[in-house]
Amino acid sequence: MRNFPEQGLPPTTDQIHRHLRRSNEVAKRAVSIGHHPFGAVLVGPDQETVLMEQCNVDTVNHAEAVLARVAALNYSPGYLWGCTLYTSVEPCCMCAGTVYWANIGRVVYGMTERQLLDVTGNHQENPTMSVSSRYVFDHCQKNVDLIGPVPEMLEEIASFQREFWATR
């Protein structure tokens, strides 16, 4: 494995909770414009500066993947390696791969894809995948730092997801 720079400052518990709440607010904004309840936030290496926010767009353009692609167009790979992508729900394998290729060095999520499946059930609009982001990142040459799930945030995130999917 090649050597890559450090991912920058690790987030504090307070920063993790604050940025996960913000990603959940972005997910609520997605719902307000007719999209599924997913949002992503990119935070700079200082773990304070919010660089970008992205709502879910559609079934192919998930919030995390769109954010990662736009970030890769606007920031250098070295800078992105020190950044953190926050998302309330674990990135699917497509999004995890896109985050990896965008060179974002850390991902923090609140609830797992499996926990989302428990909330949504076998919903035709959200056919979750049983390939975890951990599995994807464990098979990469660069060590993306993955933090999640965050138990203290689970009910807050799950209740929003449950409310959305119950009305579909």
Q: What is the C-alpha separation between 153 and 33, in angstroms, rounded?
A: 24
What is the distance, to the nearest Å, from the Cα of residue 38 to the centroid of all Cα atoms in its chain?
9
pLDDT in tens, 36-61: 999 999 999 999 999 999 999 999 99
155 is catalytic: no
Asked if 80 and 39 count as a contact pair (C-beta separation under 8 A), the reply is: no
pLDDT value, residue 5: 59
- In this predicted structure, the answer to whether residue 164 has a pLDDT above a threshold of 70 is yes
Q: Write out the two tokens for 141.
A: 């040459």
Check 25, 48, 53, 64 and give the catalytic one: 64
pLDDT in tens, 74-132: 999 999 999 999 999 999 999 999 999 999 999 999 999 999 999 888 778 877 778 99
Q: How far apart are the first and last CA of the chain?
A: 45
